[in-house]
Chain A
Amino acid sequence: MKSYDAIVIGAGHNGLSNGAYLAKAGLDVVVLEKNDYIGGAAASRELHAGWTYSNASYVCSMLRQALHRDLDLSRHGLILVPYLGTVNFGDDGETLVAYPNEAAEYLELKRHSAHDADSMHRFQADLARYAQFIRKTLLRTPPDPTSFRLRDIRELLFLGKRFWSLGEKEMYEYVRFFTMSAAEFLEDYFENDLIKAAMASPGIIGTALGVYSPGSAYILLHHVMGDVDGNIGAWGLARGGMGAISRAIAGALQEHGGELRTNAGVQKILVEEGKAVGVVLESGEEVSARIVVSNLDAKRTFTRIMDRNDLPPGIYEKAEKFKIRGSSGKVNIALSGLPKFTGLPENRYINRGGQTFSGSLETMERAYDCWKRGRWSDDPFVESVIPSAWDPTVAPPGKHWMSNFVQYCPPALADGPWTPQKRDQFGQTVVDKIERYSPGFRDLIVHMEVRTPHELEQEIGLTEGNIFQGELTIDQLLFNRPFPGYAQYRMPVKNLYMCGSSTHPGGGVSAACGANAAREILLDLKRPNTVPEDDFYDE
């Protein structure tokens, strides 16, 4: 029986980037995927002839450019196209357009509030300052604050130096910021409710928190610290859909000699004498390796594909309690034409960007209230993008598809389990919401894919449908991710590692978790490091 140097479980984009860097170092690697397609939550599939949905994640900003460049992902077919012209819709149909041009943006804000238009400069500067600090940690292994090893001390000094460079006042502000709610944070800057709602919306995405919940300010930051070609806070579309990212990384993996196996779900990680030695597939086949890397979330890894008796005391319990609450659904809609929205001019740029149906802070909080009671929001927050307006490869000419990220949607309903019927009712709530802003929208629908947290868990293995593989709250960030003491990608069992978004730097299509884990593995195996350092735009 063939034995590999490394098995990576799960061909999501982080599993692929981990495999690619291990293969680049000369290791004999196999990446195992339970589905018949790769990509996990960064996948694109044709579910209706002619239309290619990005089924889960839909836009990209976190992907580390250093990795893109180093793995030569452009040559493997990846091109990231920034999109612009997002419109925020208020409760009463009022609109706030995000223009790419500074002067136009200022005038648009001023139309709503002169005060807020001026305040926006201070807001952007403060946010950029915070982002700059946290951005620098993305492609680094978090230090263990309790360790006296040289590497940890050096890394702590690195963080400390960055932190001190913020200045005394900002250091206080930063600590405050980490624990604040998005709404409170925004109160310091803005008076207009539509502007506040628009700015707050990144603070709840993917998280079971409301705009008034402490910790949501950080989530906001997490969504604006990425960049496209150095434009921090910008978001892009992968040409061909998010699956193009996974395909490109898989191309790099295979180029370096790595192997990829689909329809190869892992049933169990094999542990002998306290060491991971391989896996058993759902088919019963055993695959052995020197090390095993799990790209599954922490809860799934330790409670589903490991024997509790193979784990040191306390780990199973930690994994059980790992905060991984699902909060969002995804509705992908194939359309026979481009939807028109009330109150917007026939501007060829702004009718084609994203649409954010945020309403007001109040509406967003009420949407969260439903989730707390085990119901999907009856007036949900919806963030939409029409990728086909930008990408000629994902729908037939003149036809479109709309990606709708919906919050909130609970993993378990108060009135019993999810059924296909309830799933479709949830989908209709979303269509109703869009129809309110775009009369006639319903008539354009050709096909729909509705995914609640239940589908996200069943299809791509995200526990409770949490898109970040664990919430991004301070108790689960940096050296606390996934658990204190296990933040350096090494797991409690020897030769077992984790490389998914459950590890630092967390959720988002960054490929950084996978690359960071590869760096640690190569260190343990005494192989030369193949993972590049980040290239900072704000160096």
Chain B
Amino acid sequence: MTFTMNDVNPYAGERLKETHFHPREAALNIRDAWASWNGYKFAECYYDAEYEYFCVRNTCGTYDICPMQKYLVRGGDAEAMLNRMVTRDITKLPLNRVTYVVWCTDEGRVVDDGTIFRLAADEFMLTCGSPCSNWLRMSAFGFGDVKVIDGTDEIAALSLQGPTSCAVLKKMGLAGIELARPFDILYFPFHDDTLMVSRTGFTGDLGYELWITPRLALTLWDELYAAGADHGIQPYGEEATNMARLEAGFIMPDMELHEALKTIHFEHDQSPFELNLGWLVDFDKPHFNGRSALLKEKERGPKFTLTRLDIPGNKPAEGAILYNNERCAKDIGYVTSAMWSPAVKANIALAMIKTEFLKGDIWAEIYHQKELRQYRKVVLCTVIRKPFWTPARARATPPPDY
């Protein structure tokens, strides 16, 4: 059935929205592999997930972060309001810098994680995975001079990650981009507007995030891809992102983190300490949401601790239950994400483990399939203290060209 101009498409309300970069991405999504994120059509992969992952580790790739929530928090009380909301001390965040934050309920359970950009003395941008205008309005209660604007649809954002990303931006004409330190924000004139670039990302590798008015989104894409043609540029989707972030040891919503406000069962959400994000909690700053609960938790220690594991063999331990001995009599935790890491050449996982059992043996019960037949194995895991993957180029300023 076709519709003419005057018809109303009866299914329009159910269709996913398209991001500002969609026309270019659709042309490159050879596999028609689409998922959704906050109502937007969003690529799982474009050509081959593993290939795209390797672009992030070997050349560079772009990841569409238009669907990510972007809230502009403005006003004389903006700093105080955010400082009251998140666990980190925002007063210490200098102009044109970005910081990673979590915010909690009064019970000290994580509502969400995200980043805060200081755009001016009295203006911030808060980014996060899930919409949270309701929580922001509650958090602004009692603060006189603060205005929260949902800028998600008004800002087009594209992440450029990988070892050649700095070379590509240089070639695009962003003079001085190589001087940006991790978490710096830089501005560049772009046609009749301004391009904001932050040295941030979700891959653990060298990378940048580009922020532009939607009107110039496709222009930005075209110039970026022209500059990147000889530097291996390739769009990458959710699957490759998930691989890269796990190697970097970053948490993923709905995998490591179950948002507190959406949690039904008691303590099926997490605290920052449980997520190994205790370093984000600053008890020296003035009162913030969840402070007393977190202080208590700090004293007694978290019930669970998110732990990095190296697992023997090559079968990803997805969903594996963990035990304190090979007989699997007493369960002590569970795997939240697992994969074979091509860069590290190890079978890696993140797992939530009852803190009291961290010192003993950790055994994983893994189920895997071979030609439809299910197999089970129980293997002894090794706890890894450092991130699985931390290339020096991710921290170097200026970064190398590849």
- Looking at the complex, which of A66-74, A278-286, A424-432 is the stretch in contact with chain B? A66-74
- 9 smallest CB-CB distances across A and B, nearest first, come from A392-B402, A398-B230, A397-B230, A69-B345, A68-B345, A229-B342, A100-B48, A81-B54, A81-B58
A74 touches B164 (CB 8 A): no
Q: Mark A169-213, 1 if CB is under 8 A from B, else 0.
A: 000000000000000000000000000000000000000000000
Q: Which of B21-58 contact A (CB under 8 A)?
A: 31, 47-48, 50-51, 54, 57-58
Q: A82-B50, A229-B50 are in contact. Are A390 and B345 (CB under 8 A)?
A: no
Q: Do A100 and B51 touch across chains, with their CB atoms under 8 A apart?
A: yes
CA of A531 to CA of B84, assembled, Å:
55
1/0 per position for B40-80, CB-CB distance to A under 8 A?
00000001101100100111000000000000000000000
Q: In the complex the two chains form, is A74's CB within 8 Å of B31's CB?
A: no
A393 at interface (Cβ–Cβ under 8 A)? yes
Contacts of A84 in B (CB 8 A): 48, 51
The answer to the question of B340 belonging to the interface, with a C-beta cut-off of 8 Å to chain A, is yes
Whether the Cβ atoms of B345 and A74 lie closer than 8 Å is yes
Contact B58 A391 (CB under 8 A): yes
- Complex Cα distance A239/B164, Å? 13
Residues of A within 8 A of B50 (CB): 82, 229
Proximity string of chain A (75-104) to chain B, C-beta cutoff 8 Å, 1 when within and 0 when not: 000011110100000000000000011000
Q: Which B residues lie at the A interface, using CB under 8 A? A: 31, 47-48, 50-51, 54, 57-59, 163-164, 167, 171, 230-232, 312-314, 340, 342-346, 370, 401-402
A390 contacts across to B, CB distance below 8 A? 58-59, 232
Q: Does A535 lie at the interface of the complex (its beta carbon under 8 Å from any beta carbon of B)?
A: yes
Decide: A229 and B47 in contact? CB cutoff 8 A. Answer: no
Nearest chain A CB to B259 CB, angstrom units: 33
Min CB–CB distance A96 → chain B (angstroms): 19
Q: A81-B54, A392-B59, A392-B402 known; A535 and B230 CB under 8 Å? A: no
B51 proximity list for chain A (CB < 8 A): 82, 84, 100
> A74 and B343: CB pair below 8 A?
yes
Decide: B231 and A392 in contact? CB cutoff 8 A: yes
Q: Is the CB of A73 within 8 A of B345?
A: yes
Give the total number of A-B pairs whose CB atoms are below 8 A apart.
61
Check if A101 sits within 8 Å of B402, measured CB to CB: no
Contact with B along A146-185 (1 / 0, CB 8 A): 0000000000000000000000000000000000000000
| Secondary structure dominating the interface of A | loop
Contact of B314 among A73, A393, A398, A535 (CB under 8 A): A535
Inter-chain contact B230/A230, CB cutoff 8 Å: no
Taking a contact as CB atoms under 8 Å apart, the answer to whether A535 and B313 are in contact is yes
A230 and B314 within 8 A (CB): yes
Q: In the complex the two chains form, is A349's CB within 8 Å of B47's CB?
A: yes
Partner of A69, one of B47, B59, B346, B370: B346
Q: Which residues of B contact A349 (CB under 8 A)?
A: 47
In Å, the complex CA distance between A392 and B344 comes to: 20
- 22 A-B residue contacts at CB 8 Å? A65-B314, A65-B345, A69-B346, A73-B345, A74-B344, A79-B343, A81-B57, A82-B51, A82-B54, A84-B48, A84-B51, A100-B47, A101-B48, A229-B340, A229-B342, A392-B58, A392-B164, A392-B167, A392-B231, A392-B232, A397-B231, A535-B312
* Residues of chain A lying within 8 A (CB to CB) of residue B370: 538
Q: Does A537 lie within 8 Å of B232, measured CB to CB?
A: no
Give, as a whole number of angstroms, the nearest-CB distance from B179 to chain A: 21
CB distance from A44 to the nearest CB of B (A): 15
Query: Which residues of A from 26 to 74 have beta carbons under 8 Å from B?
Result: 65, 68-69, 73-74
Expressed in whole angstroms, the minimum distance between the Cβ of B359 and any Cβ of chain A is 25
A residues 504-537 touching B (CB-CB < 8 Å): 535, 537
Contacts of B312 in A (CB 8 A): 535
Query: Nearest Cβ distance between residue A385 and chain B, in whole angstroms?
Result: 15
A-chain residues with CB within 8 Å of residue B47 when the two chains form the complex: 100, 349
Tell me the minimal C-beta distance from B389 to chain A in angstroms: 8
Indicate if A272 sits at the interface (CB-CB under 8 A): no
Closest to A536 in B: B314
